[in-house]
Chain A
């Protein structure tokens, strides 16, 4: 598998919003210039937040090139999805998500990581981590990192030998 699939790719919002989706695949996979991606990281200013009770928090992160919709689920304690998990783990996840929701304030510079998903045809991040940046240069570092990674890594197709070696290493594990 292409290594971009398993990492949190740092994409500028305009780049993230132009990912394409192959809906026939299982699990649903997204592509950037033909390479598969499943997780993303963004850094930007929170420009809207809309909380739906204890179900979820929807918010928008503006990095200056676009706005990425993010959804943070808060329904761990009521969702049947988690009913088979260890209750103490579920409680931890619920507490962590509630803490993230408190940190997401209008105007905050947030670093958000999560799975790439789509809702009604629009790309979004299903949030797993939030970190509110205190460093005033964090946005600049993120822009420069994203450009460097796009040019030197994401735009460069791995050689067939690399993919073969990567596959063998994963197989040994």
Chain B
């Protein structure tokens, strides 16, 4: 993949991924975080959860990542929305983030979005 065509993974929580959400788009590049609930080695499909929200992850492009049920992982990849409106993230990279403070992570995301939006509007004026 040419590096110039790689888009940053927009930081989202699993709660952000519902059909009418602005992040729920075919091909959207996203960075998602959640606890590994299921993993099928044959299908290379993992399921991560955060509270009551879940997301399927296609892990077939990942190398050297040891997936353990109950651990927390972060994946970056593209969202594929299937005909039944179910989404699956085709992961490009993944990493174990056991020990991450998820409350701080989501609070920081809000701050980051606010800072980015203020900065962009400052530059526009």
CB of A129 closer than 8 Å to a CB of B: no
**Chain B residues in 8 Å Cβ range of A66:** 8
**Chain B residues in 8 Å Cβ range of A92:** none
Chain B, interface residues (CB within 8 Å), range? 35 or more
Pair B9/A107 contact, Cβ less than 8 Å: no
Pair A136/B112 contact, Cβ less than 8 Å: no
Please measure, in the bound complex, the distance between the C-alpha atom of A140 and the C-alpha atom of B10, giving whole angstroms: 15
Pair B119/A137 contact, Cβ less than 8 Å: no
Please measure, in the bound complex, the distance between the C-alpha atom of A140 and the C-alpha atom of B6, giving whole angstroms: 22
Could you tell me how many residues of chain A have their Cβ less than 8 Å away from some Cβ of chain B?
34
Pair B104/A140 contact, Cβ less than 8 Å: yes
**Chain B residues in 8 Å Cβ range of A45:** 9, 31, 74, 76, 93, 95
CB of A41 closer than 8 Å to a CB of B: no
Q: Contacts A64-B8, A64-B9, A147-B111 known; A14 to B98 CB distance under 8 Å?
A: no
Pair A140/B3 contact, Cβ less than 8 Å: no
Q: Contacts A64-B11, A107-B94, A136-B99 known; A48 to B111 CB distance under 8 Å?
A: no
CB of A144 closer than 8 Å to a CB of B: yes
Pair A47/B123 contact, Cβ less than 8 Å: no
Nearest to B107 among chain A residues (CB) is: A140
Tell me the dominant secondary structure on chain B's binding face: mixed
Pair B8/A147 contact, Cβ less than 8 Å: no
**Chain A residues in 8 Å Cβ range of B92:** 47, 106
Q: Contacts A45-B76, A106-B93, A147-B111 known; A65 to B3 CB distance under 8 Å?
A: no
Please measure, in the bound complex, the distance between the C-alpha atom of A135 and the C-alpha atom of B8, giving whole angstroms: 22
Pair A18/B123 contact, Cβ less than 8 Å: yes
Pair B119/A67 contact, Cβ less than 8 Å: no
Q: Contacts A45-B76, A48-B1, A62-B8 known; A136 to B97 CB distance under 8 Å?
A: yes
CB of B115 closer than 8 Å to a CB of A: yes
Q: Which residues of A contact B (CB under 8 A)?
A: 12-15, 18, 45-48, 50, 58-60, 62-67, 69, 105-109, 135-137, 140, 143-144, 147, 150-151
Other-chain contact of B100, A48, A50, A136 (Cβ < 8 Å) = A136
Please measure, in the bound complex, the distance between the C-alpha atom of A58 and the C-alpha atom of B3, giving whole angstroms: 9
Pair B3/A62 contact, Cβ less than 8 Å: no
Pair A60/B98 contact, Cβ less than 8 Å: no
CB of B15 closer than 8 Å to a CB of A: no
Q: Contacts A15-B119, A48-B1, A140-B108 known; A60 to B6 CB distance under 8 Å?
A: yes
Q: Contacts A45-B76, A64-B10, A136-B99 known; A107 to B93 CB distance under 8 Å?
A: yes
